[in-house]
Amino acid sequence: MNRTVYVADDVSINIELVESVFRSDPELTIRKAEHGKELLESIELNGLPDLLILDLMMPIMDGFDVLEKLKPIREKNYFPIIVLSALTDKQSIVKALSMGADDYVTKPFFVEELKARVGNMLKLKERDEFLNSSLDVMASNLHEKLRMLEHTQVEVIIRLGKASEFRDDETGRHIERIADYVNLLMDELGVNRDFRMMMRYACPMHDVGKIGIPDGVLLKPGKLTDEEFKIIKLHTIIGGKILGGTSLPLLELAREIALSHHERWDGDGYPLGLAGKEIPQSGRIVAITDVFDALTSDRVYKAAWPIDKALDYIREQRGRQFDPEVVDAFFKINDKVIKIKQAKTDTSTTKPFIMQIIDGDISVEQSIERWR
């Protein structure tokens, strides 16, 4: 490996002597300077050295000034410095070493001693480069693993979302619209970008607990009995259990939403009866979007409400069912919400997915393609 050694000394014979020490080494290139200013100009022109041999007593700019000038450069791109000086007093030695010199050799010097010290310093430089290279590789690998972990979290969320849609597909594009509503609402509320992105992926999991609700209750076309309604309420607890027990931030946020999106601002919600800001912000945001979309969508037990009627209900529930701040933000963007509702409306093809296959509306091959 070719290495470059800079030598700064105002006495030409000293430079020649150093050159003679390393002339036999074909892998070393020597660059010379007669004072500190020339040295710095040479470094700027030719690049940083692998090692610098520096005299202290030089005209124009002495070695101490050079050490001071090089300090910020070496903090980012380290290279060793050996001071080669006729100054033998302890004060000069301590000062040079405290300013960043790695070694101190006094003149006159033994040729073999200088050669050994230069060799040791270059080995240290190689080890430093190896360690930095290894750390760069490790950092790159860590970044890639973190990226893969984030991707895995998103993939798990998407698959769970598809599972919940398959289980309760009468809602058609419900979870897709919820994600869009939530994104608009958080933008209006000034929520930071990272949290918005997590919410977009996590909020479709709000009803994942319905996977555990019996068909006879979940798909009942008429009014539920009190006992059946208690069973329906369990979907929040079931969702929390499905998504719980993880340290993955995205799944933890999804668990929080699944548990809290039926809590009410006035404390009369379920499953925990939380009130006000005891309810996580994620749950307060999803609650209003979920109710709006549910009211304006057909269900087995009811026809879709007109949009104006649904908006009147949300307005009436400000400070009761819903967080007042979230309601106010919702009405600032309700035109955009309505456009999403109209653009992504349910159609006749959004009847339960399994029924589309049974009735021959779509083929098995088409169903497989849809879920890819």
pLDDT in tens, the chain (372 residues): 678 889 989 888 888 888 877 777 777 788 888 888 999 999 989 988 888 999 999 888 999 999 999 999 888 888 889 898 888 888 989 999 999 888 888 888 777 777 788 877 877 777 766 666 665 656 566 566 656 656 666 666 666 666 666 555 554 578 788 889 999 999 999 988 888 888 888 888 888 888 888 888 887 888 888 899 999 999 999 999 988 887 778 889 999 999 999 999 999 999 999 999 999 999 999 999 999 998 998 877 788 899 999 999 999 999 999 999 999 999 999 999 999 998 887 654 445 444 454 456 656 455 445 444
Task: Give one DSSP letter per residue of 339-366, joined into a string.
Answer: HHHHHT---GGGS-HHHHHHTTSS-HHH
- Check if the beta carbon of residue 144 is closer than 8 Å to that of residue 185: no
Residue count of the chain, please give it. 372
In the chain, ranges of CATH 3.40.50.2300 domains: 3-138
* C-alpha gyration radius of the chain: 36
Return the number of other C-beta atoms located less than 10 Å from residue 41's C-beta.
11
Architecture of domain 168-370: Orthogonal Bundle (1.10)
Q: What is the pLDDT of residue 371?
A: 40
Q: What is the pLDDT of residue 358?
A: 47
Rounded Cα distance between 141 and 147, Å, is 10
**Token pair 């912000």: residue:** 281
Residue 245: phi and psi, rounded to 5, are 75, 30
What single-letter DSSP state applies at residue 272?
A: S
**Single-letter amino acid code for the residue at 27:** E
Alpha helices in the chain (DSSP H): 12-22, 36-46, 63-76, 90-98, 111-167, 174-189, 193-202, 215-218, 226-243, 249-260, 281-295, 307-316, 324-332, 334-343, 353-358, 364-370
**Token pair 């919820």: residue:** 178
In the chain, ranges of CATH 1.10.3210.10 domains: 168-370
Task: Give one DSSP letter per residue of 48-65, joined into a string.
Answer: --SEEEE-SS-SSS-HHH
CB-based contacts of 258, cutoff 8 Å, min separation 6: 205, 206, 207, 208, 209, 236, 239, 240, 242, 243
Task: Write the CA distances from 202 to 62, 86, 175, 282, 333, integer angstroms.
Answer: 63, 71, 10, 9, 21
CATH among 3.40.50.1360, 3.40.50.2300, 2.120.10.70, 2.60.200.20 for 3-138:
3.40.50.2300
Q: What is the pLDDT of residue 338?
A: 93
Closest by Cα among 309, 267, 273 to 291: 309
Backbone dihedral region of 313: left (phi > 0), alpha (psi from -120 to 50 degrees) or beta?
alpha
Question: What residues form DSSP beta bridges with 30?
Answer: 5
Q: What is the pLDDT of residue 363?
A: 63
Return the number of other C-beta atoms located less than 10 Å from residue 26's C-beta.
8
Continuous segment of H or E residues that includes residue 81: strand 81-85
Q: What is the pLDDT of residue 269?
A: 95
